[in-house]
Each structure stands twice: as C-alpha cells, then as structure tokens.
Amino acid sequence: MTAALKLNSDDLAVTVLTTERRGFTPEEISLRCADKIVSVSDSAHPAIREQAVTFKAQVAKVVEVYLKEAVRSDRTTVYNAIMDAGNPELAELIRRL
C-alpha cells in the first residue's frame, strides 16, 4: 500500500488506501478486514488489549487463507471460461498467475 489518508469525526471514520500499478494483496486486505472486525480501546486494560491484538492477528491470518482460496477459485473460473471460448494459450497464461 502506498498511501493512506484517515479522516475522523464523532460519526465518521474514513480511510483511503492506494496502490501503484497493482491491486491489493490478500495479506493487505486481510489486515484491513481484521481491523474492522476486531478493535480495542487505547484505554483498555493491558491484558485485554494484548489479548485483542493477538486475536486480531489470528483473524487476519484466517481471512488471508480464505482470500487466497477465493483468488485461486476465481482464476479457475476464468481459466475455464477462456478455454470454453477457444483460447487455450491465454487460459494457460491465466492459470500460471
């Protein structure tokens, strides 16, 4: 991720992230997802805070595994569609990604 802009108010929190010449990786998306699923106050008891941070890391890893599976599954779908369209050379290039 190359840039981040965060705006906060009492009712609104907006974060804008960008990449350059690529999309987001499953790892990057999983971290963003975990941030939305798990949060803990800065004023939380240190033991609770540590537990929440550990749990957030575990959530990110689980989400990452499933995102990678989704990418592979989608590539299989695209490969099959391109094969069905009669372009095996292009399909093979997609399969190798």
* Domain positions in the chain: 25-96
CB-based contact 7:13 (threshold 8 Å): yes
Average pLDDT over residues 18-30: 95
Confidence of residue 9 (pLDDT cuts 50, 70, 90): low
pLDDT digits (tens, 9 = 90+) for 52-97: 999 999 999 999 999 999 999 999 999 999 999 999 999 999 989 8
pLDDT: is 12 or 70 the higher one? 70
Residue 10 pLDDT greater than 60, yes or no: no
pLDDT at 4: 61
